[in-house]
């Protein structure tokens, strides 16, 4: 279809873009256009004015300062995927960038656009919630910092004012005893997530010091499961006690139980998404807890429930995209920074039986 008529302006600077937003009331920013342009073609969005900021090189960067990773809003997904810094130290972010759509989309799509769109089915919101990131917004009155926990306020709605531009994303630098992973369940490679789970842990010896878990596409807004924190306590062995990991997964599942579907057009029923969240959470937490945070990046992991039978009661949840993986095809797995989940079921702290009981409590 052909979009409705609109006026077009190409901003030459961030200040000019902000001024144009203030001048034109019904305006949308055009960054990568991977969500906005399709919406306009189907007449789901019909802004009177488009302000093109895609050429603002000042907003394309990936760098560290003293305590944070700084990502410019117009940084392409492919740049995250190719960044040596991200691959070395921010594996959950690398994990996420690898499973966003396909290479053609990742070459155009921007990190800032992914977040500003506030789509609960997008992948970055859950990852940023798990990281505890912050958003730098710039408007006519200057810049302000928005905590990621406060950023998403509704379906396709964020805390950004109409005359503000998302300028930068800040992610706290990882600690040596921390690790994170993002696991996405999808019908086919490149699709929107049926559901997804991002988990970020910090260990203190044999104790889980802190945990942040967030989910993709299980409610009308990207959400963090605050119940997950209460499910993880001090009495955990070095491989993560089964009871604690299962309770943590139940925390995420409990949050999804009260969520309604953000759109009937999204893949998977609500019950299917809840099942996938419950199945993904426990092995993710178990796997990340084994990480020392010092290993090389592992192959990206995608979960395809229709292919593996996860939603039909089978044990299999994910398959590694690495054909040389030493993981059993029917073992619940997750991406692990610097380590692999053992295929020996006898030594696995989270058993297939615990996952089955978890599914029963979710579905």
| 158 and 256 fall within a common domain | no
CATH code of the domain in which 26 resides: 3.30.43.10
Residue located via tokens 């993880």: 232
* Inside any domain, residue 356: yes
* Inside any domain, residue 2: no
Q: Are strands 62-64 and 49-52 parallel, antiparallel or unpaired?
A: unpaired
* Inside any domain, residue 102: yes
CB 338 within 8 A of CB 294: yes
| 294 and 335 fall within a common domain | yes
* Inside any domain, residue 1: no
The pLDDT, as a whole number, for residue 359 is 31
Distance of CA 197 to the CA centre of its chain: 7
The number of domains in the chain is 3
Q: What is the pLDDT of residues 252-311, one digit of tens each?
A: 455 444 444 444 445 566 666 666 666 555 435 544 543 444 434 444 444 443 333 332
| 13 and 77 fall within a common domain | no
Domain boundary among 149, 172, 195: 172
| 47 and 91 fall within a common domain | no
| 260 and 157 fall within a common domain | no
Provide DSSP, 145-196.
EEEHHHHEEETTEES--TT-EEEEEEEEPPPTTEEEEEEEEESSTTSPEEEE
The pLDDT, as a whole number, for residue 319 is 30
CB 173 within 8 A of CB 200: no
CATH code of the domain in which 90 resides: 3.30.465.10
**Length of the chain as a residue count:** 363
* Inside any domain, residue 253: yes
| CA–CA gap between residue 158 and residue 273 (Å, rounded) | 23
| 69 and 47 fall within a common domain | no
| 186 and 325 fall within a common domain | yes
Domain boundary among 119, 148, 172: 172
Q: What angle do CA 327, 125, 325 make, to 5 degrees?
A: 10
The pLDDT, as a whole number, for residue 10 is 97
| Residue 316 backbone phi and psi in degrees, to 5 | -70, 135
Spatial strand order in the sheet of 223-224: 223-224, 207-216, 193-204, 178-186, 301-303, 319-320
Of the candidates 239, 194, 213, which has an alpha carbon nearest to the alpha carbon of residue 351? 239
Half-sphere exposure of 226 (CA within 13 A, CB side): 1
| 242 and 352 fall within a common domain | yes
Residue numbers of the chain with a pLDDT score lower than 50 = 231, 233-246, 249, 252, 255-265, 282-283, 286-287, 289-363
| 69 and 111 fall within a common domain | yes
Which domain does 99 fall in, by range? 57-172
Of the candidates 271, 301, 285, 191, which has an alpha carbon nearest to the alpha carbon of residue 243? 285
Q: 154: which 2 tokens?
A: 């509704």
Q: 317: which 2 tokens?
A: 């949840």
Describe the chain by its helix, strand, coil percentages, rounded to 5: 35, 25, 45
């Amino acid at each position: 279809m052909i979009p409705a008529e609109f006026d077009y302006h190409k901003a030459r600077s961030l200040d000019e873009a902000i001024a144009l937003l203030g001048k034109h009331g019904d305006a949308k920013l055009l960054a990568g256009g991977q969500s906005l342009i399709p919406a306009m073609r189907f007449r789901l969005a019909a802004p009177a004015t488009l302000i093109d900021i895609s050429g603002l090189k000042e907003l394309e960067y990936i760098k560290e300062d003293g305590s944070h990773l700084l990502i410019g809003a117009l940084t392409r997904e492919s740049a995250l995927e190719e960044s040596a810094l991200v691959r070395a130290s921010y594996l959950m972010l690398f994990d996420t960038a690898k499973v966003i759509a396909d290479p053609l989309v990742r070459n155009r799509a921007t990190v800032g656009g992914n977040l500003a769109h506030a789509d609960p089915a997008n992948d970055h919101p859950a990852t940023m919630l798990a990281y505890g990131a912050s958003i730098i917004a710039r408007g006519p009155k200057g810049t302000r910092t928005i905590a990621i926990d406060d950023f998403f306020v509704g379906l396709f709605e964020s805390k950004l004012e109409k005359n503000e531009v998302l300028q930068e994303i800040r992610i706290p630098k990882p600690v040596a005893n921390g690790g994170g992973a993002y696991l996405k369940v999808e019908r086919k490679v490149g699709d929107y997530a049926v559901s997804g789970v991002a988990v970020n842990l910090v260990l203190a010896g044999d104790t889980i010091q802190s945990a942040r878990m967030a989910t993709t596409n299980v409610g009308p807004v990207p959400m963090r499961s605050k119940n997950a924190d209460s499910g993880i306590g001090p009495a955990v062995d070095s491989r993560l006690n089964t009871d604690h990991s299962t309770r943590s997964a139940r925390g995420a599942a409990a949050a999804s139980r009260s969520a309604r579907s953000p759109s009937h057009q999204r893949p998977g029923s609500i019950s299917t998404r809840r099942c996938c969240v419950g199945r993904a959470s426990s092995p993710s937490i178990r796997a990340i807890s084994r990480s020392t945070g010092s290993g090389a990046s592992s192959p990206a992991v995608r979960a395809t429930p229709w292919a593996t039978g996860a939603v039909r009661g089978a044990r299999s949840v994910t398959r590694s995209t690495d054909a040389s993986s030493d993981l059993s095809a029917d073992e619940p797995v997750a991406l692990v920074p610097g380590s692999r989940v053992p295929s020996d079921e006898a030594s696995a702290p989270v058993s297939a039986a615990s996952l089955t009981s978890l599914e029963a409590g979710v579905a």
